[in-house]
A and B are shown apart, each in its own frame.
Chain A
Amino acid sequence: MTRGVISAILRKDLVAFSRDRFYVFITVLGLVAFVAMYWLLPSSVDETVRLGVSHTGLDEILAPITAVENEALAISEFDSRDELVEAVESGTDGIVAGIAFPASFQDESATVELLVPAGLPPEYQPLMEGIATQVAVFAAGEVPSMGIATRTVILGVDRAGDQISLQEQMRPLLAFFVLMMETFALASLVSIEVQLKTVTAVLVTPARARDFISAKAILGTLLALAEVLLLMVLIRGFVGDVPVLLVALALGAVLVTGIGLLAGASGRDFIGVMFLSLSLMIPLMIPAFGALFPGTAAGWIKALPSYGLAEAIVGVTARGESWGDLGPALLGLAAWCVVLLAIGTTVLKRRVQTL
């Protein structure tokens, strides 16, 4: 009997969903817009290492080195150390680090400063030392005995060495946008049932509150999953370990269903439901935004319910990670799914029983 009741409610909800122009409009528009946005983004990464050098009276010595410009290395010259420091700090022209040759470089005791921003991958340092040494060889005609001092220039955000294209970085965010739209749709569907008290009419039949809530949870999860899967197909997101990705997306769909049930049960009207949905979803978008800025994920971001979803999408599609690497993140996501679904169903149950 329960299966028949749930199936009847599901079918009715699908009819209601398909006939609501607003849901259909935002669903189609969202999918088209997000897919278009994805394909308009750059799909490749500029992997050229851009270094800056500053010097006094070393023009002739540096000329053969700075003239060497290829896909791997580009060297820009600056007139003074201060200008070089500023360029490294601000990332002007993509300069990721600098080598400051002092005026007394050709003296034996000269010290070369390597201006290294915080978080720059350590492999840059030998490269820069090599360049400094090569300049010294050109200057002295033999390998000089000189000390090389380094100084760290704090820049704050490390974007150097990021090997993930903007398209890849955007995948979790786009997936999250789609899931968020389905949260609105589910929340609105639930809210209408509560406000019009159609749920009361359902609950004076042999249908039970658990049947009603189960049907809504199944519908929300299926709709969200179907849409996010469609999006991932359209943006060629199924690369790497696909089963891990499928599990992550399914858990993501359950996660937003819990939020949809909570917002739908708590909102007093359409605006209230939208406000609540947004209030709950915006913080959850932070980990997806974090994927745009690698290396910035703080501890509190990792504690957010959606962190596991964003981490799994980026991990699988961009870093080629699998169960072993993403297990903890997926477990965290699953735990949050249980918590949010429990909260959503409890609040909805209380709401329908007090109508």
Chain B
Amino acid sequence: MADSPPAIEVTEISYSYGDVLAVDGVSFEVAPGEIFGLLGPNGAGKSTTVKMLTGQIGPDSGSIRVLGMDTVSDTSKYQGRIGVCFEEKNLYTAMSGHENLRFFGRLFGIKDLDTAALLDRVDLGPRGDDRVADYSKGMRQRLMMARALINRPDVLFLDEPTDGLDPVSARTIQGLITQEAERGVAVVLTTHDMHEADTLSDRVAFINQGKILALDAPEALKLQHGQRSVRIRSLGNAGEIEETTIPLEGSGVPDSLQDTIANLEVLTIHTEEATLEDVFVAYAGRGLGA
């Protein structure tokens, strides 16, 4: 993965809506087979960045190369090799699942698309002939995912792919994302779900006010910016439950841990580590929901 040329190269891109600077000098790379999480609160610049990456708009400055092609001059060519799953359920509701996939297949020049196999991949096989208007939210999202895979893309852009879904639908989609990455597909995942980003992403970028605040593997970010500790719950003299937190930083940690355990009637011991949310707050001074 590390030796392959990057599937996506973003260099110092900026974009403004009138006087509002939405994206400000953002740079990053995504390797083939890598799942890259783009995290940030609403209005941080994620959607604008993804719009530029998918060729919907061109950057005001800077450059984006996807699969070695410039997104402005080679738009049509590289869009034939990407798959996009939007946050909005923008499907043709008067048409069936099969018909939706067949239509988008034709846009990619695929005449004999195996829509049944695609629908089976997202567990929609038995409902393929039903109109999308009759689908639940989860079914629509799974169909969106199937649509993003029509052309066996080399790069996948997924915007909140599991937002508001039931656990079964969410797991189906997360499974597909992992499978695609294993196939060598570069995945750009935009999400509010810190747990999902932590679980799926090889690297994450925190974006706020149009700038990337931090970019690294989730584990590395947590180690760099979180505080590791041990939380001990014990029974006090009067029978009440007490909590003691011992930082795992600095010298003398084993001794203090040993002393604490020896002197208390310990009920439970848990290691504590920072979450991606904690790391984001440390960088941005606010949470993702802010």
Contacts and interface: CB of A to CB of B under 8 A. Distances in A.
Interface of A: 1, 4-5, 7-9, 11-12, 15-16, 19-20, 196-198, 200-208, 353, 355
- Of residues A16, A201, A207, A208, which shows the largest number of chain B Cβ atoms within 10 Å of its Cβ? A201
B79 A205 contact: yes
| Interface residue tally on B, bucketed by range | 20 to 34
A201 B86 contact: yes
Given A15-B95, A16-B92, A19-B94, A201 B56 contact: no
Contacts of B86: 197, 200-201
Main DSSP-derived SS at the A contact region: helix
A165 to B, nearest CB: 43
Given A4-B109, A12-B103, A15-B99, A203 B56 contact: yes
A202 B93 CA distance: 15
Contacts of B56: 200, 203-204, 353, 355
Interface string B28-67: 0000000000000000000000000011110000000000
B107 interface: yes
B82 interface: yes
B96 to A, nearest CB: 10
B3 interface: no
28 contacts: A1-B109, A4-B106, A4-B109, A5-B106, A8-B103, A9-B107, A11-B103, A12-B92, A12-B103, A16-B94, A19-B94, A196-B93, A197-B86, A198-B90, A198-B91, A198-B92, A200-B56, A200-B90, A201-B86, A201-B104, A202-B104, A203-B56, A204-B54, A204-B84, A205-B108, A206-B76, A206-B77, A207-B107
Interface string B255-281: 000000000000000000000000000
B88 interface: yes
Given A197-B88, A202-B104, 16 more contacts: A5-B107, A8-B103, A12-B103, A15-B94, A15-B95, A15-B99, A16-B95, A197-B90, A200-B88, A201-B84, A201-B86, A201-B104, A204-B79, A205-B104, A205-B108, A206-B107
A204 B86 CA distance: 10
A106 B233 CA distance: 133
Nearest to A203: B56
Nearest to A5: B107
A8 B92 CA distance: 14
Contacts of A207: 107
A8 B93 CA distance: 17
B95 A206 contact: no
